[in-house]
Structure 1
Amino acid sequence: MTRKDTIQALALAGVLATSGVLHFAKPRPFDRIVPRSLPGSRRTYTYVSGAAELAIAAAIAVPRTRALGGLAAAGLFAAVFPANVKMAVDWRHASPAKRAIAYGRLPLQVPLVLWGLQVAGKVKKI
């Protein structure tokens, strides 16, 4: 693994760790985008996804588990896509700035999934 690969992996770990911490420090915005069709408490989904992000960040940070962490990150980014769709639907009548954020998150999932796969060594470097 090159120095650039390590930096890319640690950057992804940092993004995931930051988001994971935010799920616990400021859970309300995450609660709001949990699809209502899911059973149980929205807060539970917020905390579980935050814990998953922290665990995946740790896996990526450790070279021995980095490939598995990258695959898990790609899976997580794909799994949270319905929450981003819900946010876009909920904010369709919001201010232009909020709509731009909500709609901008949708295509952002593709490079995030690819980033996880790259860290896992499953796709060529982007």
Structure 2
Amino acid sequence: MEVIAAAGLAVFLVATGVMHFLAPDYFRTLVPAWLRRPRLLVAASGAAEIVVGVLVLVPRTRAAGGLSAAVLVTCYLVSHVDALRRARPDRPRLLDRPVGAGARLVVNALYIVWALAVARSGR
């Protein structure tokens, strides 16, 4: 089960990292307006996700990769908290409403728990 959790996290991270380069416009919408250089942030976070995903995939570096994934995803909480702060019930997109923005926070917290579990299993 631990190997499946690690492989799933690795695939998720690498695929999401690649998507940062294939669909950068979407990921730029997730960057809070007050942060500068959204293009650079999207590219850097995409590259980081790919590298961390590879670390998780390799058994020898799995613990460090899982911990790195937890730190990386924790950094994304800034974006999700900002989205929750700006959320309004009358917005057309569910993710722009309070319930959707709140769900984003919960899902991100679950990603952090997943990454920490993988880190713990990699010891």
Q: What TM-score bracket applies, with the shorter chain setting the length?
A: 0.7 to 0.9
1:6 aligns with 2:10: no
Q: Give distance in 2, aligned partners of 1:51 and 1:113.
A: 19
Q: TM-score, normalised by structure 2?
A: 0.86
2:24 matched residue in structure 1 = 27
Q: Report the CA distance between 1:63 and its aligned residue.
A: 0.4
Counterpart code for 1:108: V
Q: How much has 1:78 moved relative to structure 2?
A: 0.6
One-letter amino acid matched to 2:28: D
Aligned residue in 2 for 1:63: 59
TM-score (norm 1): 0.84
**Quick one: percent identity of the two aligned structures?**
36
Aligned residues: 118
Which runs of 5 or more residues in structure 1 are unaligned? none
**Equivalent runs, 1:43-122 vs 2, <5 Å:** 43-92=39-88, 93-95=90-92, 97-98=94-95, 99=97, 100-121=99-120
Distance 1:16 1:110 in 2: 15
Give the Cα–Cα distance (whole angstroms) in 1 for the partners of residues 87 and 119 of structure 2: 34
* Amino acid in the other structure paired with 1:111: L
